[in-house]
């Protein structure tokens, strides 16, 4: 059981980290609370499913096309829907909620409400420390690791990353220094949604695909981001691992744990917030000037 | 003698003419109240009455959210917690203890008030987005606990077989409509009072409010409790009207729904969210009644919200209000759009600016 917990926690934590870091990034740079973030993850899963079963492209090609299509679509959504109402925080909020609902309903209309199964990308499993780990879960872990490394590289080793970090730090000063903050925000949206859609593509064969698959990870993701500190990438990563393990422990070790797993994860978040209102790695509140 | 008898009438007419009919928005509110009260008499179609009853219940819910989120700035993403707390408390009390629904509705509101205190207490140190995202968690924690004890809560199916408040549809309609009017106007009066000004101050700058000697913590707790109680009352009415208190009263979808109503209508107005519910809820039900649209109902709803938002980012009610009324530049009184001079101080509402002046002022 211990090994089960260790492996499941790590895999789920990896998926959550992909989602949470993207969400955190876009919040940090553009102050957008993107409720539609996991809806893009759902869209990517559906896109992957369609490409795989209808066109007969290979797994890799379908995955790449799905991720790039959803990323391009997200930039379009940002330009058409979010940017015109950027100054009104409340409007941005419900614009993203409305987007998520629209995606959900469109998928419901196009594919129906039933669960869709995707054949496993990789068959077989390996034994490690006495637990059998299906290759598919291993793939999730590897992809999550690679993507996180890529994000780290982009943020800390490229000019774009420098611009993103500068904008997150202080939007106005970044603007005055000659950065095109709108374009930086757009690039951030693209990176963040690309992370979410990669997550959607790799988990699609493991989880079921249905139009409501965005809600459960949304709540968990928000819990992670708040737990780790809004806008803090390190916090999101550690928060994702904490929540991943907490959920795994609840499911494997507590009776009726499957029902309680979300509740326990959220209670951890509330407990952390009570002790540290800014989250584990968040910056302490700056009083308004 | 004759004059003494007709005095109240004449006084009432004068008040009506001078205070209500001069402003399009007030006239609209009056017409709305009259239509609401006259509906069962004029057009007693059970389907329409059912929809308006539900609309009234949700209007209470949306108005209570606005007091908390719009006025005080505590944007609550988990407002369904109070709704569900009211619904489940009232349902359990009336079913397990056999109490009359007329009593348990109040008990539901009271328990929701306590939940409001609890959530408010936990969230006192949180601000902005943190508060929104943390409050999202509370109804889901409650939902997880309810699902873990299905014997007590009925699990997925909820608690069904409740008694209605009154037997007839008309009775239920008037219960919902009158409680909606009373609660909404009470919340509006509260928001318009000195208390409401303090709430505005807390939203705009909490530090400055505290520096001015306002005990902001106490006000925030109070507002959480009041808002929770109103939402719980709505939840209890909802449970007894549908005769079931299910997990749908705690779901994220309901919490998001109230955020959509609130922001679509225009925050910090009370009447805005109520107007939004009265427009959007019957609209979605009406769309759902078409077979072709049935599946697309939520899609159309979300698209309308999105489109309207692109044109009126501050919400519907403030936009309409600015179209039909202008504010006097000197005394800040509101005037109908047709007036040239302010109705109180006689200042020209739109200053006549010559072309030369406009050019100069554009520098």
Domain boundaries, chain B: 24-324, 328-363
Is B102 at the interface with chain A, CB within 8 A? no
Contact flag A97-B260 (C-beta cutoff 8 Å): yes
Contact flag A226-B134 (C-beta cutoff 8 Å): yes
Encode burial over B160-177: b for 16+ CB neighbours within 10 A, e otherwise. Answer: eebbebeeebbebbbbbb
Angstrom distance (rounded) from CA B211 to CA A42:
47
Those of residues 211-230 in B touching chain A at CB distance below 8 A are none
Whole-number pLDDT of residue A288: 37
Statement: residue B6 has pLDDT above 90 = no
- Give the pLDDT confidence of B281-316 residue by residue, as tens digits: 998 888 877 766 666 777 888 888 888 888 888 888
Residue A215's CB is within 10 A of a number of other CB atoms, namely 18
Q: Is residue A286 part of a domain?
A: no
Mean pLDDT of B77-87: 94
**Is-contact B254 B80, C-beta < 8 A?**
yes
Mean pLDDT of B82-110: 92
Contacts of A285 in chain B (CB under 8 A): 127
Statement: residue A267 has pLDDT above 80 = yes
Whole-number pLDDT of residue A289: 31
Task: Quote the mean pLDDT of chain B.
Answer: 88
Structural domain that includes position A196: 2-122+131-275
Whole-number pLDDT of residue B361: 57
Angstrom distance (rounded) from CA A155 to CA A162:
6
Mean pLDDT of A146-167: 92
Those of residues 145-164 in B touching chain A at CB distance below 8 A are 145, 147-148
**Is-contact B345 B357, C-beta < 8 A?**
no
Contact flag B145-A106 (C-beta cutoff 8 Å): no
Is B307 at the interface with chain A, CB within 8 A? no
Statement: residue B357 has pLDDT above 80 = no
Q: Give the one of B207, B296, B302 whose C-beta lies nearest to A98's C-beta.
A: B302
Whole-number pLDDT of residue B347: 82
Q: Is residue A99 part of a domain?
A: yes
Q: Is residue A162 part of a domain?
A: yes
Closest Cα in chain B to A82: B310
Q: Is residue A288 part of a domain?
A: no
A239: domain CATH number is 1.10.3470
Mean pLDDT of B189-202: 93
Contacts of A93 in chain B (CB under 8 A): 75, 259, 263
Contact flag B130-A219 (C-beta cutoff 8 Å): no
Angstrom distance (rounded) from CA A244 to CA B49:
48
- Give the pLDDT confidence of A178-195 residue by residue, as tens digits: 999 889 999 999 999 999
Is A111 at the interface with chain B, CB within 8 A? no
Q: Is residue A287 part of a domain?
A: no
Contacts of B296 in chain A (CB under 8 A): 105, 109
| 3-state secondary structure labels for all residues of B228-284 | HHHHHHHHHHHHHHHCEECHHHHCHHHHHHHHHHHHHHCCCCCHHHHHHHHHHHHHH
Angstrom distance (rounded) from CA A38 to CA A26:
13
CA distances from A50 to A22, A106, A110, A115, A174 (A): 24, 14, 11, 14, 41
Mean pLDDT of B348-360: 66
Statement: residue B239 has pLDDT above 80 = yes
Whole-number pLDDT of residue A117: 77
Topology annotation, domain B24-324:
ABC transporter involved in vitamin B12 uptake, BtuC (1.10.3470)
Counting the structural domains of chain A, the total is 1
Angstrom distance (rounded) from CA A59 to CA A61:
6
Q: Is residue A216 part of a domain?
A: yes
Residue A14 zone, left/alpha/beta (φ > 0; ψ -120 to 50; rest): alpha
Whole-number pLDDT of residue A286: 47
Q: Is residue A35 part of a domain?
A: yes
Is B270 at the interface with chain A, CB within 8 A? no
Beta strand B325-327 pairing with A131-134: unpaired
Statement: residue B167 has pLDDT above 80 = yes
Residue A256 zone, left/alpha/beta (φ > 0; ψ -120 to 50; rest): left
Angstrom distance (rounded) from CA A40 to CA A99:
10
Statement: residue A285 has pLDDT above 50 = no
Angstrom distance (rounded) from CA A200 to CA A18:
10
Nearest to A210 by CA among A101, A288, A112, A84: A112
Contact flag A98-B303 (C-beta cutoff 8 Å): yes
Q: Give the one of A81, A108, A230 whose C-beta lies nearest to B130's C-beta.
A: A230
Task: Quote the mean pLDDT of chain A.
Answer: 86
Contacts of B129 in chain A (CB under 8 A): 27, 33, 230
Closest Cα in chain B to A102: B299
Angstrom distance (rounded) from CA B33 to CA B136:
34
Nearest to B51 by CA among B289, B281, B287: B281
DSSP B157: G
Beta strand B334-336 pairing with B325-327: antiparallel
Angstrom distance (rounded) from CA B342 to CA B340:
7
Q: Is the complex ipTM higher than 0.90?
A: no
Strands (E), chain A: 125-128, 131-134
Q: Give the one of A88, A266, A278 whose C-beta lies nearest to B140's C-beta.
A: A266
Whole-number pLDDT of residue B363: 44
Contact flag B306-A99 (C-beta cutoff 8 Å): yes
pLDDT band at B178 (very low <50, low <70, confident <90, very high): very high
Mean pLDDT of B36-62: 92
CB pairs under 8 A between A and B: 133
Is A86 at the interface with chain B, CB within 8 A? no
Statement: residue B114 has pLDDT above 80 = yes
CA distances from A134 to A72, A121, A137, A248, B12 (A): 32, 11, 6, 17, 79
Instruction: Give percent of chain B with pLDDT exceeding 70.
Output: 95
- Give the pLDDT confidence of A102-112 residue by residue, as tens digits: 999 888 888 88
Encode burial over B195-231: b for 16+ CB neighbours within 10 A, e otherwise. Answer: ebebbbbbbebbeebeeeeeebeebbbbbbbbbbbbb
- In total, chain B counts a number of residues equal to 363
Whole-number pLDDT of residue A287: 40
């Amino acid at each position: 059981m211990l090994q089960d917990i260790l492996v499941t926690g790590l895999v789920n934590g990896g998926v959550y980290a992909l989602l949470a870091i993207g969400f955190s990034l876009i919040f940090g740079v553009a102050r957008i609370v993107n409720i539609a973030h996991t809806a893009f993850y759902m869209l990517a899963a559906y896109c992957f499913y369609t490409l795989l079963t209808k066109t007969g492209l290979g797994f890799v090609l379908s995955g790449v096309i799905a991720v790039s299509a959803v990323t391009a679509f997200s930039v379009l959504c940002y330009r058409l829907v979010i940017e015109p109402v950027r100054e009104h925080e409340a409007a941005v909020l419900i614009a993203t909620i409305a987007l998520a609902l629209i995606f959900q309903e469109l998928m419901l209309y196009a594919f129906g409400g039933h669960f869709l199964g995707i054949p496993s990308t990789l068959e077989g499993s390996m034994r490690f420390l006495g637990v059998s780990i299906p290759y598919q879960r291993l793939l999730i872990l590897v992809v999550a690791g690679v993507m996180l490394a890529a994000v780290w590289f982009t943020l800390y080793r490229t000019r774009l990353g420098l611009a993103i970090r500068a904008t997150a730090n202080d939007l106005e000063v970044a603007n005055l220094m000659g950065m095109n903050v709108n374009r930086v925000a757009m690039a951030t949206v693209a990176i963040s949604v690309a992370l979410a859609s990669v997550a959607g593509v790799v988990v699609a064969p493991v989880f079921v695909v249905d139009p409501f698959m965005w809600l459960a990870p949304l709540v968990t993701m928000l819990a992670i981001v708040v737990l780790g500190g809004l806008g803090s990438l390190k916090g999101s990563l550690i928060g994702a691992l904490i929540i991943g393990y907490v959920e795994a422990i609840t499911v494997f070790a507590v009776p009726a744990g499957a029902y309680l797993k979300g509740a326990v994860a959220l209670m951890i978040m509330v407990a952390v917030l009570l002790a540290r209102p800014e989250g584990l790695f968040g910056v302490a509140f700056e009083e308004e000037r | 003698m004759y004059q003494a008898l007709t005095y109240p009438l004449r006084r009432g007419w004068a008040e009506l003419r001078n205070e209500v009919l001069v402003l399009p928005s007030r006239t609209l509110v009056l017409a709305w109240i009259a239509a609401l009260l006259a509906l069962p008499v004029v057009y007693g179609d059970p389907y329409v009455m059912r929809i308006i009853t539900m609309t009234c219940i949700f209007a209470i819910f949306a108005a209570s959210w606005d007091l908390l989120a719009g006025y005080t700035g505590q944007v609550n993403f988990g407002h369904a917690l109070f709704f569900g707390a009211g619904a489940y408390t009232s349902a359990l009390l009336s079913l397990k203890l056999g109490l009359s629904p007329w009593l348990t509705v109040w008990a539901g509101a009271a328990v929701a008030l306590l939940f409001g205190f609890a959530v408010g207490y936990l969230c006192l140190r949180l601000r902005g987005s943190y508060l929104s995202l943390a409050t999202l968690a509370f109804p889901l924690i409650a939902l997880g606990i309810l699902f873990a004890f299905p014997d007590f809560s009925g699990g997925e199916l909820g608690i069904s077989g409740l008694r209605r408040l009154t037997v007839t549809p008309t009775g239920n309609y008037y219960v919902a409509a009158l409680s909606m009017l009373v609660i909404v106007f009470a919340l509006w009066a509260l928001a318009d009072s000195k208390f409401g000004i303090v709430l505005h101050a807390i939203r705009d700058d909490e530090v400055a409010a505290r520096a001015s000697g306002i005990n902001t913590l106490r006000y925030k707790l109070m507002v959480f409790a009041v808002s929770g109680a109103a939402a719980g009352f709505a939840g209890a009415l909802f449970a007894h009207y549908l005769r079931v208190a299910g997990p749908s009263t705690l779901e994220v979808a309901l919490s998001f729904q109230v955020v959509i109503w609130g922001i679509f209508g225009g925050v910090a107005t009370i009447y805005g969210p109520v107007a939004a519910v009265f427009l959007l809820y019957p609209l979605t039900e009406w769309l759902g009644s078409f077979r072709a649209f049935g599946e697309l109902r939520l899609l159309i709803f979300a698209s309308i919200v999105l489109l309207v938002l692109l044109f009126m980012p501050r919400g519907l009610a403030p936009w309409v209000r600015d179209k039909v009324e202008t504010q006097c530049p000197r005394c800040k009184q509101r005037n109908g759009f047709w007036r040239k001079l302010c109705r109180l101080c006689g200042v020209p509402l739109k200053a006549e600016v010559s072309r030369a002046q406009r050019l100069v002022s554009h520098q």
